[in-house]
Structure 1
Amino acid sequence: MSIKVEQVKKTYVTGEVKTHALRGIDLKIKEGELVVILGPSGSGKSTLLNVISGLDTVTEGTIRVNNQEITSYNEKKLTSFRRNKLGFIFQSYNLLPNLTTYENVEVGEYLSKSPLSINDILNQVGLKSEKNKFPYQMSGGQQQRVSIARAVVKNPSILFCDEPTGSLDEDTGKQVLKVLQDLNNELGTTIIIVTHNIAIKDIADRVIKMRSGEIDEIITNDQKIDAKEVSWG
């Protein structure tokens, strides 16, 4: 799915204080792109992800996904859009502790009208032999891969990732990025990764750099590198 953002602004009001989180964003993301949105805390990158995905509303402007204006949707239609079209991966894994790996991924399957095979996805993320383990029996990287499998089994058109390696060490972070890169290459899923980690930029088709609620720079990578080759330091 393609995304078109036009003059999007987001202002939060707390009492008499106004915070301008987004200041007139214009952005196009092509179907099948892997895009990294970079920026320090407070730059607006997570807010941009939230409004593009329909988790939050805009103050001004329009967002179109495959030419459908999601900024005109009511809450019921937004909920349906998120359930049927989108996948989400966050820094916190949000796994259900009393469910096995397979059962946690099955939760994602239940939310989809056209799910992928759970066993195929577990194999793809390297967890087929771990499918009967509970979260407490797994490392942080394995739990993050379970959360990826749960999002991907829905067969989403767009996968949103908010700091997916933020709590992981270098080796585990690279493993997670490799899974995302492979999914993008093999399934053609549009993937948007929000991060403050500049090392991740080299795996993207394009890098969106943000500062103070604005797009500061857009970089196109003519030569992407394999996630395993990312220079973390």
Structure 2
Amino acid sequence: MSIRLVNVGKIYKSGEVETVALKDINIEIKDSEFIVILGPSGSGKSTMLNVISGLDTPSSGEIYYNDEKISDYNEDKLTKFRRNNLGFIFQQYNLLQNLTVKENIEIGSSIGKNPLNIDEVLDAVSMKNEKDKYPYQLSGGQQQRVSIARSIAKNPKIMFCDEPTGALDEETGKQVLEMIQNMNERFKTTTVVITHNPNIAFMADRVIKMNSGKIVEEILNTKKRKASEIKWG
């Protein structure tokens, strides 16, 4: 499933004050691509993720998924579209503390139209041996793996990752990035990672650099790196 943004803008209004968060965004993301949207705090990258994924609506312009124009959808249609097509990984794990690892993943699986096999997903994130544990019994990195597994279990067409390693140390962060990279390669899930860490950009098929609400540069990586190969600091 490809994504296309045409002249997309986003303005936030607070009383008389207007803040331009996105300006004239034109971009196409191809099916199965691994994209990194890179920029400093305040560059518009999180707004970009929210608008592309239908968590927020653009002030102007058009957003297409294949030939579906989702920028015209009302909230109900957007919610249904997200549920059927998109997965999300956030910096916070958002796991249900009273459910086991497997049960948390099953929640993601239950809302998918064509869900993946739970055991295969557990294996993909190296959490098979921990499937009966509760979140409080896991490290931060393991909880993030469960979060990834829950998102991928529904078999989304596109996965959005918002600073997925922001709260993790280098070793754990690289392990989590490796999981996301493996998901992209194994399940052909179109993957969009938002980050301020320029080293993560080396993992992408394409890097979209943002500043002041605009795309300032696009870089095609001719030689992608594995998560284990990137520098951290």
TM range (shorter): over 0.9
- Look up the SS of the partner of 1:208 in the other structure: strand
- What is the Cα deviation at residue 18 of structure 1? 0.7
Q: Which residue of 2 aligns with 1:160?
A: 160
- What is the Cα deviation at residue 17 of structure 1? 1.1
- Look up the SS of the partner of 2:24 in the other structure: strand
Q: Which residue of 2 aligns with 1:204?
A: 204
- Look up the SS of the partner of 2:176 in the other structure: helix
Alignment of 1:1-233 (within 5 A): 1-233=1-233
- Look up the SS of the partner of 2:87 in the other structure: strand
**Can you list the C-alpha shifts for 1:100-153, whole angstroms capped at 9, x where unaligned?**
100110110111121101111011000000001111110000000000000000
Structure 2 residue runs of 5 or longer lacking an equivalent are none
Tell me which amino acid in the other structure corresponds to 2:59: T
Tell me which amino acid in the other structure corresponds to 2:202: D
- What is the Cα deviation at residue 199 of structure 1? 1.1
Distance across 2 between alignment mates of 1:12 and 1:139: 38
- Following TM superposition, the consecutive aligned residue runs of length 4 or more in structure 1 with deviations greater than 2 angstroms are none
- Count of equivalent residues: 233
- Look up the SS of the partner of 1:77 in the other structure: helix
- What is the Cα deviation at residue 192 of structure 1? 0.1
> Identity of paired residues, percent?
60
- What is the Cα deviation at residue 201 of structure 1? 0.5
- What is the Cα deviation at residue 157 of structure 1? 0.2
Structure 1 residue runs of 5 or longer lacking an equivalent are none
TM-score normalized by structure 2? 0.99
Distance across 1 between alignment mates of 2:37 and 2:75: 26
Distance across 1 between alignment mates of 2:115 and 2:219: 34
CA RMSD of aligned residues (A): 0.6
Distance across 1 between alignment mates of 2:201 and 2:194: 10
TM-score normalized by structure 1? 0.99
- Look up the SS of the partner of 1:155 in the other structure: coil
Distance across 1 between alignment mates of 2:217 and 2:139: 36
- What is the Cα deviation at residue 74 of structure 1? 1.2
Distance across 1 between alignment mates of 2:4 and 2:192: 13
**Can you list the C-alpha shifts for 1:36-78, whole angstroms capped at 9, x where unaligned?**
0000111000100111100000000000011110001111111
Distance across 1 between alignment mates of 2:217 and 2:18: 25
Distance across 1 between alignment mates of 2:197 and 2:67: 31
- What is the Cα deviation at residue 16 of structure 1? 1.2
112-121 vs 143-152, greater mean Cα deviation? 112-121
Distance across 2 between alignment mates of 1:122 and 1:49: 27
Distance across 2 between alignment mates of 1:226 and 1:42: 28
- Look up the SS of the partner of 1:129 in the other structure: helix
